[in-house]
Structures are given as C-alpha cells and as structure tokens.
Amino acid sequence: MKVGMIGLGAMGEGMAINLAEAGFLAGVYNRTFSKAEKFRKEFGVDVFNSPSELAASVDVVLICVSADEDVLEIVTRISGSIKPGSVVVDMSTVSSKTAEQAASLLAKKQVDFLDAPVSGGVEGAKNGTLAMMVGGNQQALEKIKPVLEAISSRIMYMGATGSGQGTKAVNQIMAAGINQAVTEALAFAEAQSLPLEKVIEVISGGAASNWFLEHRGQTMTQGTFAPGFKLALHHKDLKICQTMAKQNDSAIPLAEQTIENYAQLMKKGFGDEDISALYRLKHP
C-alpha cells in the first residue's frame, strides 16, 4: 500500500516520520515546500507539487491540516485525479459536517473517506501513540489499518461518517474543562506557596491524575508555554463544538468559558502558545 501524506505541521510531521519508518510513506505534499524537502532527503520519498499529483500516484491519502476549508479544498483538488478504490483519511480536527461533505464528494469517485481525528499531542504524534477515532466505512478502515497502526496505538471505529469528528469534539470539550480544572487548582497551590513541582508529582499519582497535569503542569507553573497544542487551534475546535452543542441542545459551560479565555489571550498575542497558557489568566 502506497501512502501519501498532505500536511506536515506539528502533528503531521511526527505522523509522516512514523509512516516513513514503517515503510508506508511514498510521497508528501506540504504548502511550505521546504518541510516536504526534508522528507525527500531523509527518507527518499517523492515530494509532490500539488495534492492532485500526490493523489494520482498513491493508494491511501492521509490529510492533516487545520481548518474545515482546507480539508474541503484539498478533497476538491484531489477528486479529479484520485484512483477509484483509493482511501482518503482526514486526521484534521474539523466539523462532522465537513466530513460528510468530503465523503459525499469522494463517493462519486468510488473513493472511501474516513474522518479519523487524533488525540495525544505532539508527543503522541512523535511516538506513534496517538488515539484515533474513526468514522466512515468500516471495511475501508480494516483494509488500511496496518497504515494507521504506524501512527496510533488506539484506533477506535466510532460509526458512520462524522462520528470520528463527533468523538473528537467530546475530547476537545473534555480537554478544555481539564485545562480549567488544572490551572484553577495549581493557581490555588501557588497562592498557598506550596512547592509546585512536588504538588504536581504527588497529585499525578492519585485520583485527580490526568495527562495534561503530567505533561504541562511543570512547564506552565514555570511560565513557559511552548506548544504542544496551540491555543488558537483549540479555540477554533471549541467554536466547532459550540455550534454542535447548539444543534444537540447541550450545555457546555466550561468549554464556553474556555473560548472566552482563549479569545482574551489571543488578543494579547498568545495564540501561538500552548493551551496551558490559560494559566496566565489564573495566576496573573
């Protein structure tokens, strides 16, 4: 199975390296050409000048970009050249609706589309330990599973097209709430003048333990916020969740609060920092 990867950002790059090392990666496309060149040099894979050229010469197209419009643009561009029987997997975090539109576009070309967003941060992308939530045709998933196993240590089939993105929305809402929980508690610890390094270590062993505390606790209390997961991207994701919540009559007050807090931080120029920069507001 020849695999092509579109999008070599913070997440995409780690995944592409794992795909190359597992022997799947045949070619890459990236808007910024220099990033793609790196893969030609290191792994000897093809670098394509356009998504459509890439799609024409592989069996599986993986997409990892940022926004709904990017996914739809790429799918439109590849739909002219892609071979029937190919599978397109979108690992970007976008709306369920975008997934449905992309799937319907590609179905006309006898191409399966899977929405397969991931969670686990840049660490997970680098180490191949991402969690992946997949919507779409289950047989298509089974067919290309060996490819996805090079990226993810937990692949879960969620149901029809869009249910991967629906699950990712749950994940992003939970991540927002946990960010609120961890920053609130650590600011309270700091106000008590407790030794924060030890606080984080001991709490990480108990019933309040969580990935975010273990991976971002020390850095946030030291005032460093290198991404990780960019705050502006989480903001974008949560806006999608907000729309979905309105549609299904859910109350998501912590996510709403987080959207406001992030907007405030973005206005101050912190949009490219990690989401743990929320701590700036909790302990000014």
Burial class (CB in 10 A: 0-12, 13-18, 19+), 6: buried
205-224: which residues touch a copy of itself (CB under 8 A)? 205-213, 215
Given the residues 109, 168, 236, 282, select the one marked as catalytic: 168
Query: In the bound complex, what is the minimum distance in angstroms from residue 156's beta carbon to a copy of itself?
Result: 4
Nearer to a copy of itself, 44 or 253 (CB): 253
The answer to whether 252 contacts a copy of itself (rule: CB under 8 A) is yes
Query: Which residues from 142-171 bind a copy of itself, rule CB under 8 A?
Result: 153-154, 156-159, 163, 166-167, 169-171
Cα dist from 82 to 63, 105, 110, 120, 251, whole Å: 14, 12, 9, 30, 41
Among 1, 107, 194, 226, binds a copy of itself (CB under 8 A): 194
Whose CA is closest to 179, among 91, 34, 281? 281
- φ, ψ dihedrals at 194, nearest 5°: -75, 155
Asked about 168 being catalytic, the answer comes back as yes
Residue 199 lies near a copy of itself (rule: CB under 8 A): yes
Question: What gap in Å lies between CA 119 and CA 79, rounded to an integer?
Answer: 27
Tokens of 145: 């599973």
Residue closer to a copy of itself by CB (options 4, 12) is 12
Residues 49-108 that bind a copy of itself (CB under 8 A): none
Cα angle at 8 between 21 and 222, to 5 degrees?
95
- Give CA 149 to chain center in angstroms: 16
Restricting to residues 111-140, which ones interact with a copy of itself according to CB under 8 A?
Answer: 118-121, 124, 129-133
Closest distance to a copy of itself from the beta carbon of 227 (Å) = 12
Cβ distance to a copy of itself smaller for residue 111 or 244: 244
Closest to 28 measured CA to CA, from 9, 48, 10 = 48
Quick check: 20 binds a copy of itself (CB under 8 A)? no
